[in-house]
Structure 1
């Protein structure tokens, strides 16, 4: 059989009309002698050995053209998180595994399992908040007695949806949530019996975790955390894509943009905080991200993209908040998005090589 260009398959439910991120990826693939094809997850026909996807025509046409192609050599699974959680790509992952086609990013453990792994990493250089699975209402009572203020999160959540801050006030509990389902923000003060009923309804039906509050630095009354994105390159080595500070609204619960937060250039925030006598050690953030990436790579060899939310307290200590194997690209600044696309192609070709795994 003669040589053919490697095919990088990208699974997505949204086929773009214009250039954008996927167009940048397609050009990078072409530069490296490969083809990039966008597939809906249902359009890769493993049993037939073909797929129906879209290729970037480039040049003057600048459109995505549908075509029939052989099965891809590697798949970048890029379906929205909520659709993945509904099982959309389960059969695709299984079929690819049976045929030896590498798929990244892999599914990884949720917050409840991930946090203790990182807490046990003595070389990672990061502080991890006390975290407990919520198996009963008494868990919340115990955490509130110990810390006074705690955060509650769905173990498989995203976008700041359903993240609560709970504050104990004598015989009352103050409940705050910036994205309370699709109803917007929630601010509620309840008695302890009312809280028990609230917790039964909202925290015990699906897996949730409770965490101590992290003493994050603030700017204009909004707590700050940092999205740190790293990706693996053509040699399988982690590289920093970018660090993006996120700032919550004053007294906000989360920093997510969709929940009222805002972003800022790192250099700009460093200048503003320096005027207030605070320093941001960007190298410490990068170092922690790389250390955790190397740790997780041992468990998940096909892991190629990680987006962390890390915090810094007033002592300069770096805290782990959470990580996401599918960090939102829209949070990144343009030059970071370009680099993210290049590295996604580079790592795909690394995986496609027989020596990779």
Structure 2
């Protein structure tokens, strides 16, 4: 019987670290164990390692003596973990898809404005969206007047880079920002005259597209606001499932909960029990999971070949749920930071189970 390969498409930096075991937050061992569960052999390569002329891929495969560079036919199923900004890479992926090769998560980066517009079309999800507009001086002043507390975020970006906060009290406005990133140490807050937009903010929104978004009043744990990261993936059955979730708290003096910015990760049940004592934690977890799956289904109607989301969900002190953002390349390591080792491994098992589903069924599942 011929071996069945699953391709793992990586960025350059992760790929280069494979021989020395220095692959950052990506665990090659987890991929290996998960693939073996489903009778698959993982092959790790980059987009430039694929040849359309010879229909081959040159990638790393683990042998008894370590990882070895091997040339093999392009696998029928490829799990994309890379981010591509150049047109040529996307054209190559489109060619492979047209040949009938399954590349799930073929695009891992969507603009926050694009995602928001997709979800606004869904009448079920729409009430759970914070009011969001394209940021300019006029829209920021109008939104601040209306809501009193805003998050300003780049349309494209990750791990909280470039994000700012503008809030209003009875006498002043307060602007929170960071010049050094990713680092919680660089955060500062300055007091402003009401309606006076700081120069740094104006420069940033002129240089790049930004969103101005109503800030949801998050529930707090030990005096720190938190949100919930929910990993939603397709697995062996081909349907959307929640692999796990954890709570992310903001560091002192900041408002961002990204772990790369100094946020902390905790098991979600523990946080719900301590921060929302009047609400059954299991019911909150169930509601959060249901909401995340609904959101993934809604997004997958617009995102062909999506199979993996890291969903950030806001929870208020009243137990209301709001959508914050969806990441097409979930970093996964937050589960390990939260001490949830088995769930961390499950976030690798699900994509390998989905590879098996695609190989066996030969069809892409419904939404």
User: Shorter-chain-normalised TM-score: which range?
Assistant: 0.7 to 0.9
Task: Name 1:290's counterpart in structure 2.
Answer: 293
**Is the Cα contact below 8 Å between 1:225 and 1:247 reproduced in 2?**
yes
**Greater Cα offset, 318-327 or 104-113:** 104-113
Task: Name 2:330's counterpart in structure 1.
Answer: 327
Task: Name 1:111's counterpart in structure 2.
Answer: 112
Task: Name 1:8's counterpart in structure 2.
Answer: 6
The superposition leaves residues 219-246 of structure 1 with CA deviations (integer Å, 9 ceiling, x where unpaired) of: 1221110000111112211121111001
Q: State the alpha-carbon separation in 1 of the partners of residues 151 and 179 from structure 2.
A: 14
Q: State the alpha-carbon separation in 1 of the partners of residues 169 and 363 from structure 2.
A: 59
**Is the Cα contact below 8 Å between 1:119 and 1:127 reproduced in 2?**
no
The superposition leaves residues 162-188 of structure 1 with CA deviations (integer Å, 9 ceiling, x where unpaired) of: 111102357854211256556732323
1:201 offset after TM fit, Å?
1.0
**Is the Cα contact below 8 Å between 1:160 and 1:179 reproduced in 2?**
no
Q: 1:5 to 1:334 in 2, by over 3 A?
A: same
**Is the Cα contact below 8 Å between 1:231 and 1:343 reproduced in 2?**
yes
Task: Name 1:49's counterpart in structure 2.
Answer: 55
Q: State the alpha-carbon separation in 2 of the partners of residues 192 and 45 from structure 1.
A: 58
Q: State the alpha-carbon separation in 2 of the partners of residues 326 and 75 from structure 1.
A: 14
Length-normalised TM-score, structure 2? 0.85
Task: Name 1:266's counterpart in structure 2.
Answer: 268
Q: State the alpha-carbon separation in 1 of the partners of residues 179 and 121 from structure 2.
A: 31
Q: State the alpha-carbon separation in 1 of the partners of residues 180 and 356 from structure 2.
A: 41
Superposition misfits of 4+ residues, deviation over 6 angstroms:
none
Show the 5 A alignment for 1:77-226: 77-79=80-82, 81=83, 84-85=84-85, 89-107=89-107, 109-124=110-125, 127-134=128-135, 136-168=136-168, 173-178=173-178, 180-181=180-181, 184-191=186-193, 195=197, 197-226=199-228
Task: Name 2:362's counterpart in structure 1.
Answer: 354
1:330 offset after TM fit, Å?
1.2
Q: State the alpha-carbon separation in 2 of the partners of residues 272 and 33 from structure 1.
A: 42
Aligned-residue CA RMSD (Å): 2.7
Q: State the alpha-carbon separation in 1 of the partners of residues 350 and 88 from structure 2.
A: 25
Task: Name 2:46's counterpart in structure 1.
Answer: 40
1:57 offset after TM fit, Å?
2.1
Show the 5 A alignment for 1:281-320: 281-320=284-323
Q: State the alpha-carbon separation in 2 of the partners of residues 137 and 196 from structure 1.
A: 10
1:298 offset after TM fit, Å?
2.5
**Is the Cα contact below 8 Å between 2:164 and 2:176 reproduced in 1?**
yes
**Is the Cα contact below 8 Å between 1:38 and 1:53 reproduced in 2?**
yes
Structure 1 residue ranges without an equivalent (≥5) = none
Aligned residue for 2:128, secondary structure, equals coil
Task: Say how many residue pairs are matched.
Answer: 347
Q: State the alpha-carbon separation in 2 of the partners of residues 178 and 217 from structure 1.
A: 23
Aligned residue for 2:27, secondary structure, equals helix
Q: 1:178 to 1:265 in 2, by over 3 A?
A: farther
